[in-house]
Amino acid sequence: MRRHGRPTACHSLRHGGDSGLRRFITTLICGLLAVTAAPLAARAFEQPVQEPMPAEFIRFFDTLALTEDYGPFNNRPPWVRKWAGPVQVVLDGRAEALRGEIAALLARISRWTELPFTLLPPGASAPQSDNYISVKLLPRAAFQRLYKTRDVVCQTETHGLGGTLKVGYMVLSDGYTDCLKHEFMHALGFDSHWFPKKGSTIRSVLAYRDSASRADDYSRSDIMAIRVLYDWRIQAGMTREKSLSIAHEVLRGRPQSASLPLATAAGSAAFR
């Protein structure tokens, strides 16, 4: 694993599988060092933003879901990674302090993915079967000892087979729980980060912490990306070329399950 040049870097490791099966292990370690963060974007559902042009959005989707932005395994062919069934989330120990926030977050994610993401009761152990995400919250000193680093403050690791995510592990450290939305978007299958070229109007929770493109809540583009990735036509393990072709179809057709929020009875767009 090599360190990315940015002070707020995330590190991504993936490995090919045995016996011809495409296996992967994605480790996303997010170092959030910025002492003074740039002003965060207003929430998309509170302050409407200009809808990105399809070409710009496709670049955004491609970057986050299908492109590696760093790491020693950049030559691995990109392919779709996503959950395929109901997902249970278990909170370990001190992470119970985040239960209310995580429950609200999972309700939104369930609507966008059209998969049930459910929070297990307090004290529950990790399921013996697949399809779960474990969330831990550690004291800062304990996190530093565990990962032998001073700058890394949160980590998300996902494991799967053939592009289908099976298990996720998320570890946060005290004082940096604002990276929760960032980490959950990684856990959904968006491995990379948003570092746009000059002039882009897209903001994202997956922009770096010190970037003017960083949003403090899921932006319109983040929600569109989640809905496109979890459209039924884009399958786990699908190649980058095929999935991008389908993403164009999704945007053109704008079906109910895909790119844009539905209009409410009053005619306003519903982003939550």
Residue 115 CB partners (closer than 8 Å, separation 6+): 83, 85, 86, 87, 230
62 vs 209 pLDDT, higher one: 62
pLDDT in tens, 110-137: 999 999 999 999 988 888 889 999 999 9
Confidence band (pLDDT; 50, 70, 90) for 76? low
Is residue 43 over pLDDT 70?
Answer: no
Model pLDDT, residue 257: 40
Answer with the residue of higher pLDDT: 132 or 42.
132
Assign 142 a pLDDT band (cuts: 50, 70, 90): confident
pLDDT at 266: 35
* DSSP code per residue over 8-75: T-EEEE----STT--EEEEEEEEE---SSPPPPBPPTTTS--PPPPHHHHHHHHHHHHH---SSTTTT
% of the chain with per-residue pLDDT over 70? 70
Q: What residues does each domain of the chain span?
A: 10-32+44-84+137-253
Q: How many CB atoms lie within 10 A of CB 32?
A: 22
pLDDT, the chain, mean: 75
| CA distance readout (Å), 184 to 47, 95, 246 | 23, 14, 24
Res 27 pLDDT > 80? no
